[in-house]
Amino acid sequence: MQTSIEARDLCTVVWELRYKEHTGEYWKQLDPYYRGLPLMRRIFHKDGHITAEPMDQIWGGHECSWTLRRSKSKAGPPLVRINHWPPLTISRTLAWGWKMENAWVVYTSTGETVTSSPSPT
C-alpha cells in the first residue's frame, strides 16, 4: 500500500475540511462541523487550484492554489502548501485514506472520486 502522497492522490478524491477547535469562535461559527452539519468539501485540481461547493460560507470565491513539496529536511514526507498558509503534514488514516493537517485545519479524503462529486465552484 502506498504510504507517500502524490499529486494524483490529491486530485482524484473529494476532501473534507474542518477547523480545529482552538482556531477560535469566528472560524467555529463559520465551520458547519461545529453545528453538526456535513463538513466543507474541497477539490484539488491538477493545474494547482482548489474549488469548493456552492454556498460554502468560508470559501467566498477567493483564489486558492496548492503545491506539493518536500519538507525542508528533504528526508521527510511531502507537504501540501495552500496559498501562504502553514504547510499541511500528510498521513494515512486507519482505513488507508489520507489526512492532511496543520495547526489550524484538518483535511480528510472521503474516498469519493472527483468524477462522482457534485459540481464545484
pLDDT digits (tens, 9 = 90+) for 62-92: 789 999 987 776 667 789 999 999 999 999 9
Residue 90 lies in a domain: yes
Domain of residue 107, residue span? 7-116
CATH number reported for the structural domain that contains residue 31 in this entry: 2.40.128
Residue 44 confidence (pLDDT): 97
Closest CA to 83 of 104, 99, 67, 105: 67
Residue 99 lies in a domain: yes
**Helix boundaries (H) for 1-121:** 7-12, 25-30
Residue 73 confidence (pLDDT): 67
Residue 97 lies in a domain: yes
Does the pLDDT at position 102 exceed 50? yes
Please give the Cα distance from 1 to 23 (Å, whole number).
Answer: 34
Count: domains in the chain: 1
Which residues have a Cβ under 8 Å from the Cβ of 3 and sit 6 or more positions away?
Answer: 92
State the DSSP code for 22. Answer: G
Does the pLDDT at position 120 exceed 70? no
Residue 16 confidence (pLDDT): 97
Residue 2 lies in a domain: no
Q: How far is CA 50 from the centre of its chain?
A: 9
Q: What pLDDT digit, counting tens, does each position of 42-69 carry?
A: 999 999 999 998 888 788 777 899 999 8
Does the pLDDT at position 110 exceed 60? yes
Does the pLDDT at position 119 exceed 70? no
Does the pLDDT at position 10 exceed 60? yes
Residue 121 lies in a domain: no
C-alpha cell at 97: 485514506
